[in-house]
Amino acid sequence: MLYRTAGQFKTSYEADHALFPVKQDAWLLAFILLLAFVIFPLTASEFIFRALLIPVLIYSLAAIGLNILTGYAGQLSLGTAAFMGVGAYACYKLMTYFPELNLLVAVILSGFASAAVGVLFGLPSLRIKGFYLAIATLAAQFFLVWLFEKWGWLYNYSASGAIQVSNISVFGITFAGPQASALAQYYFVLVVVMLFTWLAINITRGRIGRIWKSVRDMDIAAELVGINLMKAKLSAFAVSSFIVGVAGALFVFLWRGAAEPNLFDIPLSFRILFIAIIGGLGSIMGNYLGAIVIVALPVILSVLPRFFGLSIDPATAEHLNTMIIGSVIIFFLIVEPHGLARFWGIIREKLIIWPFPH
């Protein structure tokens, strides 16, 4: 009933390939935006902002960047956290040399720095692929984290080796630093993530996205029909690293407030990969669903036992979190490799043809 399409006619090719071919999808998006921009800011506490809403948005953006490279272009990567680190350190240096620079401009420029590094480490994809490419990106992960630790210029030769975010204001509102409110940071992150999600959707639905998909499905056939593999693969690395770099800048400046080199180590890369797998490779919406699962699960495990009067120490909760996430990943790899996005697709299809079985 909710997804009945009777009376919704398409009279042109553009209408048939519209972003929302069913009106209910547009209504659902409008409801989600209402929740994000109005309901959550009016009802959520500071704990909800900092423990759930802001990290879900940032992890979703990082997973979108990885999904463009792996889910759409078919290039395996295990160095996502390192490219996030490039974006974070680039933003830190920009704000150090240009303290009056608009924070939004600095965040976007840091994405370009990450894109340049991503293209550099994406060059091996022109000669290798699959498992060997994953190892090459893993080498980039280790090298960049080592560089963050050993190159003192990146952290202004601080004795602690960490970068600290000072108070940064835009139009009189403090968005970063110790004095920034959670609500202001949430709105900043929400706008940036919404902007780049719109950008990713348009790229993946257009000519460039179709080129990436053809390279992913069969690169030899794509080359035979005239697709330039070098441009296709390097453009995927550039766009992916650009979005991941922006996510890294948000990660440090709008959430953590400080960072050490080990923050961008391999566990963060795997966490973002798990988000993409659980949400569904080759899906933009799936990144949000996967991020909700990965971010919300530790919070639920820490709150739920106390709700029932049970006492679980943090170490046990961490082990349970790891076991559950591992089980969920195995479940999706076996039952539905396309992740939560495909589950929603199946539910949507059944709602459209209800009450008929098929």
For the segment 11-33, the average pLDDT, to the nearest whole number, is 81
pLDDT at 95: 92
pLDDT computed for residue 351 by the predictor = 79
pLDDT (tens digit per residue) in 283-323: 899 999 999 988 888 877 777 777 777 777 777 777 888 88
Would you state the structure tokens that stand for residue 260, as one six-digit string? 């050490």
Secondary element (H or E) of residue 164: strand 163-164
Q: What is the mean pLDDT of residues 90-117?
A: 93
What pLDDT is recorded for position 185?
94
Question: What's the pLDDT score for residue 336?
Answer: 80
**pLDDT value at 133 more than 70:** yes
Give the residue among 143, 118, 141 at the shortest CA–CA distance from 273.
Answer: 141
Of 1, 52, 59, 258, nearest in space to 155 by CA: 258
Q: Which pLDDT value is given to residue 197?
A: 95
Lowest pLDDT segment from 232-236, 247-251, 291-295, 302-306: 302-306
Is 37 within 8 Å of 31 (Cβ atoms)? Answer: no
Q: What integer is the mean pLDDT of 188-209?
A: 93
Mean pLDDT, the chain, as a whole number? 88
- How is residue 174 annotated by DSSP? E
Q: For residue 277, count other CB atoms closer than 10 A to its CB.
A: 24
Residues 87 and 249: beta-carbon distance below 8 Å: yes
* 301, 321 contact by CB (below 8 A): yes
Residue 68, pLDDT > 80, answer: yes
For 85, other C-beta atoms within 10 Å of its C-beta total: 30
- Region 267-283: mean pLDDT is 91
The pLDDT of residue 199 is above 80: yes
Task: Provide the pLDDT confidence category of residue 344 given band limits of 50, 70 and 90.
Answer: confident
* Contacts for 349 with CB less than 8 Å, ≥ 6 apart: none
pLDDT at 317: 76
pLDDT (0 to 100) of residue 49: 92
Instruction: Give the H or E element holding residue 24.
Output: helix 23-34
329 has pLDDT over 90: no
Is 83's pLDDT higher than 70? yes
8-state DSSP, 166: P
Q: What is the DSSP string of 68-121?
A: IIIIIS----S-HHHHHHHHHHHHHHHHHH-TTS-HHHHHHHHHHHHHHHHHHH
Residue 91 has pLDDT above 90, yes or no: yes
Q: State how far the alpha carbon of 260 is from the alpha carbons of 54, 73, 227, 264, 302, in Å.
A: 20, 31, 41, 8, 25
Average pLDDT score over residue span 248-252: 95
Where are the alpha helices (H) located in 176-284, listed in sequence order? 182-205, 207-217, 219-224, 229-251, 266-279
The two three-digit tokens of residue 53, written as one number: 């809403």
pLDDT, position 348 = 82
Reported pTM:
0.92
The pLDDT value given to residue 328 = 82
Whether the pLDDT of residue 358 is over 70: the answer is no
Tokens linked to 355: 């009450």
- Integer Cα distance of 130 and 77 in angstroms: 9
pLDDT at 127: 83
Q: Is the pLDDT of residue 243 over 90?
A: yes
**Cβ-defined contacts of 47-52 (< 8 Å, 24+):** 49/182, 49/183, 49/185, 49/186, 50/182, 50/255, 51/299, 52/295, 52/296, 52/299
CA angle, corner 149, sides to 143 and 153, nearest 5? 110
User: CB within 8 A of 21, min separation 6: which ones?
Assistant: 10, 15
pLDDT exceeding 90 applies to what percent of the chain? Answer: 47
- Is the pLDDT at 357 greater than 70? The verdict is no
Q: What is the pLDDT of residues 137-188, one digit of tens each?
A: 899 999 999 999 999 899 988 888 889 998 888 888 889 988 889 999 999 9
pLDDT at 65 over 90: yes
In this prediction, residue 14 carries a pLDDT of 77
